[in-house]
Structure formats: structure tokens, C-alpha cells
């Protein structure tokens, strides 16, 4: 008990009590704010999944309209229905991928986003979804307007050019960010350690 007496005397000092209370209050506030953020990310993930399931159901309906053997729909309308189903499925995949990205990067992992390797991976996963979605949308739109109104083909080409521009910008960002990773070796080590932990938990 004797070694604890100086600490008791210090902590019972009235001049230090406001500082102790302030530090405890600040820690509680930060913890509460982080809990709110985690809850918000969970809500976003769930809504992404719900949107993806809704889009998948819409795609199934469109696909059925395109292949229904008992219907009297023309071949062109069936073709457009199948293309529309592909477009809906593409957006559904994008929604699922974005939900998974938010879940893994913002909920499961606690390393700060300021680490260059975390920024590169988070943005890379997002850009992959956007670029692939735009590319498929360009393909679907090209097939549709080529049959219905070829004069609108430049609009489809504009979508492809946007996807190509994003791909080039993403490649430049990855190249520049790779050099920045060497400036924070401690952050890189922390992120890799946390990745291994998450992978082990997922495997278990």
C-alpha cells in the first residue's frame, strides 16, 4: 500500500482533478464518436447489400422477359431486355463490391487511412468497380444504340473514353503512391500486420 500513497496524494490534488476529468471526458467522447462512425458504416454496408439484392431481382425480371418462351415479344426487344439485365447486374456487382470495401476497410480494420498503402488499396478497389462498370455500360450502350439509333454512338464512345481516362489516372496515382509508401514504413507494417490478422480471422 505504501508505494501507492504518492499516487493517491497526487490524484487527490484539487488542482489536477479538472485535468483528469477533462482527459477522461475527451476519451469518452472520442470513443462514442468512433462508435457512431462504425454504426454508420454498418448501415451503409447493409444498404449496399439491399440495393444489390433489389437490382439482382430486377435483372432476373428483365432476363425472364427476354427469354420467356411463351411471350410474343420481338427478338429486338428480347435482346434489349437481356442487355438491360446485364447492366443491372453490373451495378449490383458494383454495389456489393463497394459494400465489401467499406466493411473491410472501415469496420474490420482500425489502421488509419492516412497510411499510403491503405489509401492506395481503398481507392484502387473503388476505382476498379467504377472502371469495370463504365466499361460494361459502354459495351451495353454501344449494342443498344447501334441497333436503335446509330447517331448516338458518340455518347457510348464518351463513356468508354471516361473509363479509359479514369484507368490512366488510376495508373498514375498508383505509380506515384508507391513511392510515397516508403516514407511511412511504420504505417505500412501496421497495415500489413492488420491485414494478416483479418485474413486469419476470415480463414477461421
Domain count, the chain: 1
Model pTM above 0.85? no
| Nine-digit cell string for 197 | 490478422
Higher pLDDT, 92 or 146: 92
In a domain? residue 23: no
Asked, for residue 176, whether it belongs to a domain, the answer is yes
**Domain-embedded: residue 170:** yes
22, part of any domain: no
Model confidence over 90-113: pLDDT tens digits? 889 989 988 888 887 777 765 555
Of 13-27, 38-52, 68-82, give the lowest mean pLDDT range.
Answer: 13-27
Angstrom distance (rounded) from CA 157 to CA 52: 27
> Is residue 51 situated within a structural domain?
yes
Residue 19 lies in a domain: no
Domain that holds residue 160: 31-203
147-151: Cβ within 8 A, 24+ apart: 147/76, 147/79, 147/80
Domain assignment of residue 57, yes or no = yes
Residue pointed to by grid coordinates 467522447? 29
In a domain, 109, yes or no: yes
Q: Which residue in 46, 149, 45 sits closest to 104, CA to CA?
A: 45
Distance, in Å, from the CA atom of 179 to the CA atom of 192, rounded to the nearest integer, reads 17
Stretch 84-90: mean pLDDT: 89
Instruction: Say if CB 91 and CB 48 are below 8 A apart.
Output: no
Is residue 2 very low, low, confident or very high in pLDDT (cuts 50, 70, 90)?
A: very low
The rounded Cα 123 to chain-centroid distance in angstroms is 8
Amino acid at each position: 500500500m505504501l508505494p501507492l500513497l504518492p499516487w493517491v496524494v497526487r490524484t487527490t490534488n484539487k488542482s489536477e482533478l479538472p485535468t483528469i476529468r477533462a482527459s477522461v471526458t475527451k476519451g469518452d467522447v472520442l470513443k462514442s464518436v468512433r462508435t457512431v462512425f462504425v454504426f454508420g458504416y454498418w448501415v451503409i454496408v447493409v444498404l449496399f447489400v439491399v440495393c444489390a439484392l433489389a437490382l439482382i431481382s430486377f435483372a432476373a425480371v428483365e432476363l425472364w422477359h427476354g427469354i420467356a418462351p411463351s411471350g410474343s415479344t420481338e427478338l429486338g426487344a428480347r435482346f434489349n431486355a437481356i442487355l438491360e439485365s446485364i447492366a443491372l447486374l453490373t451495378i449490383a456487382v458494383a454495389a456489393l463490391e463497394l459494400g465489401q470495401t467499406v466493411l473491410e476497410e472501415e469496420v474490420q480494420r482500425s489502421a488509419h487511412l492516412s497510411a499510403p498503402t491503405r489509401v492506395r488499396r481503398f481507392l484502387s478497389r473503388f476505382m476498379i468497380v467504377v472502371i469495370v462498370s463504365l466499361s460494361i455500360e459502354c459495351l451495353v450502350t454501344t449494342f443498344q444504340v447501334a441497333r436503335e439509333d446509330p447517331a448516338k454512338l458518340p455518347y457510348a464512345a464518351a463513356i468508354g473514353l471516361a473509363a479509359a481516362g479514369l484507368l490512366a489516372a488510376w495508373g498514375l496515382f498508383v505509380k506515384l503512391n508507391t513511392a510515397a509508401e516508403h516514407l511511412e514504413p511504420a504505417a505500412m507494417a501496421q497495415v500489413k500486420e492488420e491485414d494478416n490478422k483479418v485474413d486469419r480471422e476470415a480463414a477461421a
